Amino acid sequence: MKNRINQLLQQVQDMQATNAEELENLRIKYLSKKGEITALFGDFRNVAADEKKEIGMLLNNLKLQAQSRIDELKEQVAARTQQEEKQDLTRTPDPIALGTRHPLSLVREEIIDIFSHIGFTVAEGPEIEDDLHVFGMLNFAPEHPARDMQDTFFINKEKGIQKPTDILLRTHTSSVQTRVMTSQKPPIRVLCPGRVYRNEAISARAHCFFHQIEGLYIDKNVSFADLRQAMLYFAKEMFGPDTKIRLRPSYFPFTEPSAEMDISCNICGGKGCSFCKNTGWVEILGCGMVDPNVLESCGIDSTIYSGYAFGLGVERITNLKYRVKDLRLFSENDVRFLTQFESC
């Protein structure tokens, strides 16, 4: 009997409960009518008379200990339940890490914002295009090398035969010009941002997809001076008020005359450094007066209207602004790179 009492005393002292149900089970196990301690009281009548006093004391002590351990556990369970009720389980865990905008998105938005102040709105067109809108209506001769499979990702094309209905991934956002000009009447003043694709091997300096923004302005009496002024305004807004521009003659099938535009190197301020290859200038975009052939192919009367267009690479501008040396970083989604750009 004594041994059994000691055993139970040990068990009672070790009792643990994390909720009300476990606690109730303990009470039933030891103290209910059929409980183990209650059962010992039943056996008490069989204890020898000379032991009754001692065993009786031990038994009473066991019962008291059990009751007080259960009371103690009851308090613990109540405190815990109250604590849990206070917790708001719908709250997002801390700390809440805020994402950052992709650098290309930041720069694209900045460019759109700059041009919106001089009346440009945004137009978009499909990335999967046909030959007609990417090349044909933009005055590309049938055998122009840009149409070559080496540069262009064709989706369906009969070998060797050139058709306006060939489906391809657009190689430049100039294709959106043709979509806008055939669906809107002048005056037209749009920016066409988007992704473009070229069949290039991926390296630090080239990628098979990148981003451009095309600009187009068509109205009566638009002149080259308007183009130059708009480009100077953009360069100063984007790279600072001391920025100078320089236009060099160039060739694009869809503009005549055409030019490439340089800005004074914003790294050395025009003195010459390794970035500008000691010339003091860096090229940032292509531009020109929309070729009358392009206007006519889009149904715009070139004897009444004229216009200018320009096309810039978002990666190029982003590199100039943030000095990103490897183009691949833009598409790898490495958060160590992305979180370096502050969201505006």
Binding site for ligand DAH (CB under 6 A): 172, 174, 214, 252, 255, 286-288, 309-311
Supply 264's token pair: 């004074």
Beta strand segments in 109-187, E:
121-122, 128-130, 154-156, 167-169
Nearer to ligand DAH, 115 or 310 (CB): 310
Of 89, 170, 186, which Cα lies nearest the Cα of 137?
170
Q: Output the smallest distance, CB 101 to ligand DAH, in A.
A: 25
Rounded distance between C-alpha atoms, residue 157 and residue 140, angstroms: 18
Closest approach, Cβ 201 to ligand DAH, in A, equals 18
Q: Are 108 and 314 in contact (CB under 8 A)?
A: yes
By residue count, the chain amounts to: 344
Looking up tokens 């032991």, which residue turns up? Answer: 51
Toward ligand DAH, which CB reaches closer, 239 or 252?
A: 252
Name the closest residue to ligand DAH (Cβ): 311
> Cβ of residue 166: shortest distance to ligand DAH, in angstroms?
18
Nearer to ligand DAH, 139 or 264 (CB): 139
CB closer to ligand DAH out of 8 and 287 = 287
Q: Would you say 198 and 208 are in contact if contact means Cβ atoms under 8 Å apart?
A: yes
- Closer Cβ to ligand DAH, 69 or 207, answer by number: 207
For ligand DAH, the closer CB: 152 or 174? 174
* Nearest CA among 2, 47, 11 for reference residue 29: 11
Q: Which two tokens stand for residue 192?
A: 């066409």
Task: Report, in Å, the least distance between residue 173 CB and ligand DAH.
Answer: 7
Angle at which helix 36-43 crosses helix 49-86, to 10 degrees, equals 170
Q: How far apart are CA 256 and CA 323, in angstroms?
A: 33
Q: Which residue has the tokens 């035969």?
A: 161
| Shortest reach from residue 260's CB to ligand DAH, in Å | 8
Residue 198 CB, nearest approach to ligand DAH (Å): 9
Q: How far is the CB of 310 from ligand DAH (least distance, A)?
A: 5
When the beta carbons of 23 and 231 are compared against ligand DAH, the nearer one is: 231
**Whole-angstrom Cα distance, residue 269 to residue 280?**
7
Which amino acid is located at 283 in the chain? E
Q: How far is the CB of 214 from ligand DAH (least distance, A)?
A: 5
Report the C-alpha gap between 332 and 304 in whole angstroms. Answer: 48
User: Which C-beta is closer to ligand DAH: that of 115 or that of 252?
Assistant: 252
* Cβ distance to ligand DAH smaller for residue 69 or 255: 255
What angle, rounded to 10 degrees, do the helices at 20-31 and 49-86 form?
170
Are 257 and 288 within 8 A, CB to CB?
A: yes
Name the minimum Å distance from CB 151 to ligand DAH.
10
- Closest to 304 measured CA to CA, from 322, 292, 313: 292
Alpha-carbon distances of 285 from 68, 215, 242, 344, rounded to whole Å: 85, 11, 19, 25
Secondary structure element (H or E) that encloses residue 191, with its range = strand 188-197
